[in-house]
């Protein structure tokens, strides 16, 4: 067995033992190029995508992981429909009201909102085949994370590439992750009245508490997975009357 075949075998084995990855419904193509693992295909959700990347990266002596995985959307939509929904959400979000907003399509850039020079930054959105790319500069990691979650909330989105820079640079911490997720829960109409305790340890988020419905429990986990830099989510939320 060659080294390439051995790496592919190890990665495939890890995927088969991960309950959140369903290779029968959504096969993942695994390759090795110049020592790096290449993953390509569609997966069920953000959790499956992030866990696939984590498992592949755990194989010893590889040079890295090239991510070409996309999430299979519950609703297939064209880029124009995705653009309209996402840009409206970004424009409405109170947390981003002082950010300039632009949309880029090929060589054309359309200004959707201009703000003063002392605003909270600028966000440029591009969409291609359901993949959202966010570029520009914002003033905090919370702004970056909120913009990314709004993109993941948009129906039809297959992936979000959050390349927003933060200026001045801000050190990322578990406390910042917790604060950002609490802010997202406040923004989420399904979770505004939910009593959820959030903890983070080395970018692994643990959710505890009680909600009224299973839909709220799933939504809270989705929001946590959608946060930039979150590697894993442990959902211990209970469902039932408080």
User: pLDDT for 169-216, tens place per residue?
Assistant: 999 999 999 999 999 999 999 998 888 999 999 999 999 999 999 999
- Predicted confidence (pLDDT) at residue 107 exceeds the cutoff of 90: no
- Are 57 and 107 within one domain? no
Number of H helices, E strands in the chain: 6, 13
> Could you tell me if 105 and 158 lie in one domain?
yes
The pLDDT assigned to 192 comes to 81
Condensed to tens digits (0 to 9), the pLDDT of residues 129-161 reads 999 999 999 999 999 999 999 999 999 999 999
Whether residues 154 and 192 share a domain: the answer is no
How many angstroms separate the CA atoms of 153 and 184, rounded?
A: 11
Distant-in-sequence, close-in-space partners of 242: CB < 8 Å, separation ≥ 6: 195, 210, 212
- Helix boundaries (H) for 58-96: 79-92
Instruction: Check residue 115 and give its pLDDT.
Output: 83
Beta bridge partners of 207: 198, 235
Last residue of a domain, one of 71, 92, 127: 71
Kindly state whether residues 124 and 151 are assigned to the same domain.
yes
* 162 and 87 housed in the same domain: yes
Q: Looking at residue 93, what is its pLDDT?
A: 95
Count of domains observed in the chain: 3
Neighbours of 75 (CB within 10 A): 8
CATH number assigned to the domain comprising residue 7: 3.30.1340
Q: How far apart are CA 46 and CA 28, in angstroms?
A: 14
Predicted confidence (pLDDT) per residue in 9-64, tens digit: 999 999 999 999 999 999 999 999 999 999 999 999 999 999 999 999 999 999 99
Q: Identify whether residues 133 and 150 lie together within a single domain.
A: yes
Same domain, 66 and 113: no
Which pLDDT does position 210 carry in this prediction?
Answer: 93
Give CA–CA dist 153/168, Å, rounded.
Answer: 27
Q: Which of 166, 193, 217 is the last residue of a domain?
A: 166
pLDDT score recorded for residue 120:
87
Same-domain check for residues 86 and 155: yes
Give the SS3 label for residue 186.
Answer: helix
Residue in the block written with tokens 């948009």 = 154
Query: pTM of the prediction?
Result: 0.94
Same-domain status, 92 and 153: yes
| 84 and 46, same domain (yes or no) | no
Q: Are residues 162 and 85 in the same domain?
A: yes
Q: Are residues 46 and 106 in the same domain?
A: no
Residue range of the domain that includes 48: 3-71
Angle formed by the axes of helices 79-92 and 141-153, nearest 10° = 140
Sorted by sequence, the CB contacts under 8 Å of residue 113 that are 6+ apart come out as: 91, 99, 100, 101
pLDDT at site 140:
96
Identify the domain boundary among 139, 166, 193.
166
Tokens 């939504």, residue?
A: 219
In this prediction, residue 242 carries a pLDDT of 62
């Amino acid at each position: 067995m060659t080294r390439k075949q051995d790496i592919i075998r190890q990665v495939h084995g890890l995927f088969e033992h991960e309950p959140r990855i369903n290779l029968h419904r959504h096969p993942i193509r695994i390759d090795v190029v110049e020592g790096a693992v290449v993953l390509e295909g569609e997966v069920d959700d953000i959790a499956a995508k992030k866990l696939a990347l984590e498992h592949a990266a755990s194989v010893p002596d590889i040079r890295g992981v090239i991510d070409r995985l996309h999430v299979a959307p519950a609703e297939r939509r064209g880029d124009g429909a995705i653009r309209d929904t996402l840009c409206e959400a970004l424009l409405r979000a109170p947390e981003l009201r002082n950010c300039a907003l632009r949309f880029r399509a090929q060589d054309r850039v359309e200004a959707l909102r201009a703000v003063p020079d002392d605003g909270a930054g600028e966000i440029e959105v591009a969409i291609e085949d359901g993949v959202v790319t966010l570029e520009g500069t914002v003033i905090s990691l919370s702004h970056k994370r909120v913009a990314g979650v709004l993109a993941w909330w948009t129906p039809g989105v297959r992936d979000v590439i959050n390349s927003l820079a933060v200026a001045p640079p801000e050190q990322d911490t578990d406390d910042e992750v917790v604060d950002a997720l609490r802010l997202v829960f406040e923004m989420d109409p399904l979770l505004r009245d939910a009593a959820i305790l959030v903890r983070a340890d080395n970018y692994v988020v643990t959710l505890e508490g009680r909600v009224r419905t299973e839909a709220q429990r799933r939504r809270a986990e989705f929001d946590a997975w959608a946060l930039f830099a979150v590697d894993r989510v442990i959902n211990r939320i209970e469902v039932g009357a408080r």
